[in-house]
């Protein structure tokens, strides 16, 4: 995550340098001092910095994919064998030529949480047990959706999220019958990550006369 922040700073520096080059081109042109050779040299320098930004964004995109999977949140009820990944999609990384070709979960953006004074990152996640949407285990996104401004908080859903890419869970409340006990299991992060979850359960009901 530190590397992601450093790359963002590098992009900001390059963008400032590009603006300076563009201003220099305009100033020389306005005063009639812009020769053809100077023009080509400045444009080439500007194009080179734009190419650097493109390469940095590719690295950012790879880190975004990896971090999203590393800090993914899963949930399951009781002793269910399958776990669900809320508000996320599965990506076929083999088609993306990703270094570790496998199917991973992407889209939750938990790693994008803001940090506090102690450097601890955290965010609030709400899951409506009456209906929540999860990554469809039978469908893999062939092209990673774009996370617009994915380095900003709060992270938004990918632009290409549709009901066809996710699966609804709508049966859990029906399983909560009187006189029975149930356990909700939450897991956040992967091996080697230091994570903690605190949860509150709110029951909303109405009386039927």
**Amino acid 153: pLDDT:** 38
**Amino acid 190: pLDDT:** 80
**Amino acid 159: pLDDT:** 46
Question: Could you give the count of Cα atoms lying within 13 Å of 202 in the half-sphere of its Cβ?
Answer: 4
**Does residue 173 have a pLDDT over 50?**
yes
**Amino acid 14: pLDDT:** 96
Report how far apart, in Å, the C-alpha atoms of 39 and of each of 15, 52, 62, 89, 184 are. 19, 20, 35, 47, 65
Indicate the domain borders of the chain.
2-67, 73-209
**Amino acid 184: pLDDT:** 92
Tokens matching residue 93: 């990384």
**Of 42 and 193, the one with more pLDDT:** 42
Tell me the C-alpha distance between 52 and 16, whole Å: 13
Tell me the C-alpha distance between 203 and 201, whole Å: 7
**Does residue 40 have a pLDDT over 90?**
yes
**Does residue 31 have a pLDDT over 80?**
yes
Assessment of whether the complete model's pTM goes beyond 0.85:
no
Quick check: 22 and 60 in contact, CB under 8 A? no
**Does residue 82 have a pLDDT over 80?**
yes
**Does residue 156 have a pLDDT over 50?**
no
The CB density around residue 135, as the number of other CB atoms within 10 Å, is 27
Q: Residue 118: pLDDT band by 50, 70, 90 thresholds?
A: confident
**Amino acid 52: pLDDT:** 95
Report how far apart, in Å, the C-alpha atoms of 33 and of each of 24, 26, 40, 73, 204 are. 11, 10, 13, 59, 73
């Amino acid at each position: 995550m530190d590397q992601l922040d450093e790359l963002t700073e590098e992009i900001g520096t390059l963008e400032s340098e590009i603006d300076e080059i563009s201003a220099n081109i305009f100033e020389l042109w306005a005063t009639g001092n812009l020769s053809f050779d100077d023009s080509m040299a400045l444009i080439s320098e500007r194009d080179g910095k734009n190419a650097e930004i493109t390469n940095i964004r590719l690295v950012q995109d790879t880190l975004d994919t990896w971090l999203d999977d590393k800090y993914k949140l899963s949930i399951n009820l009781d002793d269910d064998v399958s776990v669900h990944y809320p508000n996320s999609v599965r990506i076929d990384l083999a088609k993306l030529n990703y270094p570790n070709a496998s199917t991973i979960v992407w889209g939750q953006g938990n790693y994008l949480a803001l940090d506090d004074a102690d450097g601890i990152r955290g965010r609030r996640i709400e899951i409506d047990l009456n209906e929540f949407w999860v990554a469809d285990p039978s469908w893999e996104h062939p092209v990673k959706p774009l996370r617009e401004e994915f380095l900003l908080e709060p992270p938004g859903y990918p632009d290409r999220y549709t009901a066809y890419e996710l699966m609804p869970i709508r049966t859990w409340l029906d399983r909560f019958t009187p006189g029975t006990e149930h356990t909700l299991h939450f897991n956040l992060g992967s091996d080697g990550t230091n994570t903690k979850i605190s949860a509150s359960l709110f029951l909303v009901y109405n009386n039927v006369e």
